[in-house]
Amino acid sequence: MEYNTSRTKLVYKEYGRNIQKLIDHAVTIEDDEKRNAFAKRIIELMGQINPHLKNTVDFRHKLWDHLFLISDFRLDVESPYPIPTRESLAQKTVKMPYPRTKLRFRHYGKNVEALIAKAIAMEDEGKKKEFTRIIANYMKMVYRSRNEVAINDDIIKHDLKKMSDGALEVDEGLVLKKMSNSRSTGQRDSGSNNKRRKGRSGNTRKHHQNSNKHKRRSYRQHGK
């Protein structure tokens, strides 16, 4: 009986043990023509075992690369593609650097800082003032959506001034709007619609009940 601990390690688990055994056998075939024909049949089997790979770019090219890799580059066959080397397939993927921007006010997010930078760059004072008011209202919405607690407008105005290094200010007497995101608005609308539907259905049931009472009363009077 053969145990997994005594078997060679699978190079590609998605192809299974049998494909690896076939490739090991192909390495031992001495006749070049038979070895090449056997390798092509293995490629067909590899494609059938993993049909999802057909949607990838250079599908068959990948299969041939995997064939040589599974054989530990010992398989001597003719390939329709450049035969890879151990070094070329061992190249590690270069990781893209993750952007790390330090936010002074994380609870407002990066978008608010981008909007503030855009407002500061505006030359038209009228447009800058109006855009600053929009940013303040947006900051209030963001704060409430993340904290779900009421916040004083003065705090928003203070944070806006600090985040813009004093470049942006809103009027002290300005009352910020209670903006809401579409999701919460949709939930409230849905809830109110359900209440209206329940109210209508309740009124309909009451109407039928009253009508049935009237019919029973009329029937008893006529029966007498």
Complete DSSP assignment for 94-133: PPPPPP-PPPS-TTT-HHHHHHHHHHHT---HHHHHHHHH
- 116: buried, middle or exposed (CB in 10 Å: 19+, 13-18, 0-12)? buried
At residue 35, the pLDDT reads 96
- Other beta carbons within 10 Å of 33: 8
At residue 54, the pLDDT reads 75
Q: What is the tens place of the pLDDT at every residue in 97-106? A: 665 666 677 7
Locate 20 and state its tokens: 């690896």
At residue 74, the pLDDT reads 93
**Distance, CA of 122 to CA of 128 (rounded, Å):** 6
Contact (CB, 8 A) for 43 and 49: no
In sign, the C-alpha dihedral spanning 184, 186, 187, 189 is: positive
- 187: buried, middle or exposed (CB in 10 Å: 19+, 13-18, 0-12)? exposed
Question: C-alpha angle with apex 97: 92 to 100, nearest 5 degrees?
Answer: 155
Q: 48 Cβ partners below 8 Å, 6+ apart?
A: none
DSSP H or E segment with residue 156: helix 153-163
At residue 80, the pLDDT reads 92
Residues of the chain below pLDDT 50: 182-190, 224
Q: How many helices (H) and strands (E) does the chain have?
A: 8, 0
